[in-house]
Chain A
Amino acid sequence: MNDLELDVRPMLRNGGEPFGAIMGAVNELVPGQRLRLLATFRPEPLFSVMASKGFSHEASPLEGGDWQVVFTPTGDSKQAGGSASNPDTWADPDYYLDCTDMDPPEPMVRILEQLEDMGEGQVLFALLGREPIFLFPELEARGHAHVGEFAEDGVTYRLFARAGRRP
């Protein structure tokens, strides 16, 4: 079976955010098909997202500083829903928000708005320009679970938020 190839280098060079395109490509894969991704850097943030979707990865540097990553389906993707207290069991992110260029408190508003529209157990993946420390107590007050970390660049913050039950 041929790999599905996705080259996000032009998008990255134009300052774009390829996450949506990558998730779109993943949805197009037929069972057992691999995804071959070409990027201008080693896309670390993607590995945990793809692992939760049941893909292992193999990254190799190309000439000129670019990277090729081959994602191979392992067939053990997470079941939808999962347990709020254990992020390893969460569903794949259904929603994605890029808040890196937003001025505070807009990221907070956008993330909470999005979570209001999501069903219990659905997961939102958000990229932020800094750690959203005013957001965490607000997420907890509304019963949403969250887990996050800084990306390798030490600046971008990746947040996974799992919508809680409606009051």
Chain B
Amino acid sequence: MQRASISQWTLAYFGCSLAVFLAALGLIAAGFGYPADALAGPRTLIVVHMLAIGWLTLLMFGAMFQFLPVLVGRDLVWPRLPPVALLLIATGLVVMLTGFAGLDGMIDLPAQLLPTGGLLLLCGFSTAAAVLMATLLQGQSLPLPACFVAVALLSVLLTALVGESLASALTGVFGGDFALALVTHGIPLHAGLGLGGWLTFAAMGVSYRLVSMFLVAPERGGRLPQIAFWSGVLGGAGLGGAFAILLARNMPAPPAVTFAALAGFASVGAYLGDIITLYRSRRRKALELHMRAAIAAFSMLGLAALVLVIAAAAGSERGVVAGVYILVLGWLSGLSLAMLFKIIPFLTWLECFAPVMGRTPTPRVQDLVCERRALPIFAGYFIAVLVGATGLFMEEPHLLRVAAAAQLIVAILLSDEFRKARRLHHLPAEWTNWKKPRLFLPTTPSRMLP
């Protein structure tokens, strides 16, 4: 018998990740990091890791603790471990960022904190991945979205291993030709595995199921999802192979990286084709705001893939940077914000109204949000991302800072909408005195909810 329950720690993950997201946008708006600092400079790396780990990875893990049991119809294995993983990841991130700051000379602390932080992160990722992987393996069957998640979990561990090697080389834990080769050629592999193999692949898997559920469209079967999956696996294998060659021979492997890029491009193309089909075959003609905002995020993925391929072929560094910006802030962050706009009200609704549904009238999930207010916020966000990417490509730092400031403002407004959903703020007057859930921390419900 399949069943599901509310994940106790998901909202704590969401709360932490949103806080880091706002802080990272604030730093970009303040002109911290690239282009004032080098692309691989410590200040740039601080911002990049805040976005990739503090914002996106925490969000993804939080979402998966809720989503994966629903996907495979099993309760989460070892439910006490998610808070442990959260603590390890948060501590590891702070220590690692401190290490970067020490490397930069901003603070008088040893840069050796960098690999220490990396090790804590590796422990945190392993804990979260172990819980999720064990839950997957308990399932009665492994639907395709779950296969995406499984590969993404392997990628996050590999990303962290490559990152830890880089951190050790950067801080002189080991030296010689190997360290030099790693620092010279390892960063694109680390970034590709993290942003592609882990975050994008996980987002693809999760969205396959969520999109079909929210649009009331039949699940996708047939060849395209298989192409999306296996091309992605080949892309990840290409990056893994390039890293193995780097380890064994201290040499880069451009053919393997090119192969990985092309396979990744094919995977994204097949996936976007599937998403278009899902939208077209939907049984609910009216689109809620989160699914309209998701269209913008999917478009950003297509745009980012195009920009990255063209820029890489042309050898344009600023083109690659602009492409990565669209990928991270347009696709990954945009999709995350769009899905949070549905997931937070949905979980809040379950927490507050599941025990009484059917017995007394309950509000609709949509009543917990105000789409009219949120629509211009989402529109502003995606426009600001495009302006920011243009600023990077044109090498206009002021344009980038203005765009990041605009993104920061709309992200604060959206976070406030999430808070209002949790506080039942938008519900009609008759619900004013209804018991409100905690904002982020788990509640101990009077009865274990579904």
Contact = CB atoms under 8 A, between A and B. Distances in A.
A147 to B, nearest CB: 10
A102 interface: yes
B219 to A, nearest CB: 7
Interface in B33-92: 70, 73
B218 interface: yes
Nearest to A15: B283
A112 B358 contact: yes
B450 A113 contact: no
Given A136-B2, A138-B354, A101 B450 contact: no
Contacts of A101: 216, 283-284
Interface residues of A, number: 26
Interface string A27-44: 000000000000000000
Nearest to B217: A129
Given A104-B213, A109-B358, A155-B219, A133 B2 contact: yes
B443 to A, nearest CB: 17
Contacts of A129: 216
A4 interface: no
Given A133-B4, A133-B70, A116 B350 contact: no
Residue among A103, A113, A116 having the largest count of chain B Cβ atoms under 10 Å: A103
A29 to B, nearest CB: 33
Contact of A103 (B70, B216, B358): B216
Contacts of B350: 105, 134
Contact of B358 (A100, A115, A130): A115
Contacts of A137: 3-5, 448-450
Contacts of B349: 105
B450 A131 contact: no
Interface in A70-116: 100-106, 108-109, 111-116
Contact of A133 (B73, B355, B449): B73
A113 B358 contact: yes
Interface centre among B283, B346, B349 (most CB of A within 10 A): B283
Main secondary structure, interface of B, reads loop
B359 interface: yes
B362 A136 contact: no
B447 interface: yes
B253 interface: no
Contacts of B70: 133-134
B429 interface: no
A1 interface: no
A135 B358 CA distance: 12
Contacts of A155: 218-219
Nearest to B1: A136
B284 A116 contact: no
A106 B366 CA distance: 11
B1 A116 contact: no
B359 to A, nearest CB: 6
A108 B353 CA distance: 11
Contacts of B357: 105, 108-109, 112-113, 138
B181 interface: no
B351 to A, nearest CB: 12
B94 interface: no
Contacts of B4: 133-134, 137
Contacts of B216: 101-103, 129
B365 interface: yes
Contacts of B32: none
B151 to A, nearest CB: 24
B283 A116 contact: no
B393 interface: no
A116 B334 CA distance: 41
Contacts of A105: 346, 349-350, 357, 365
B214 interface: yes
Interface string B335-358: 000000000001001100011011
Contacts of A104: 213, 346
Contacts of B359: 112, 116
Contacts of B218: 155
A108 B450 CA distance: 11
Nearest to A106: B364
A105 B216 CA distance: 12
Nearest to B449: A137
Interface of B: 1-5, 70, 73, 213-214, 216, 218-219, 283-284, 346, 349-350, 354-355, 357-359, 362, 364-365, 447-450
Interface of A: 100-106, 108-109, 111-116, 129-131, 133-138, 141, 155
Closest 8 CB pairs of A and B: A112-B358, A133-B4, A137-B450, A113-B358, A134-B450, A136-B3, A133-B2, A109-B357
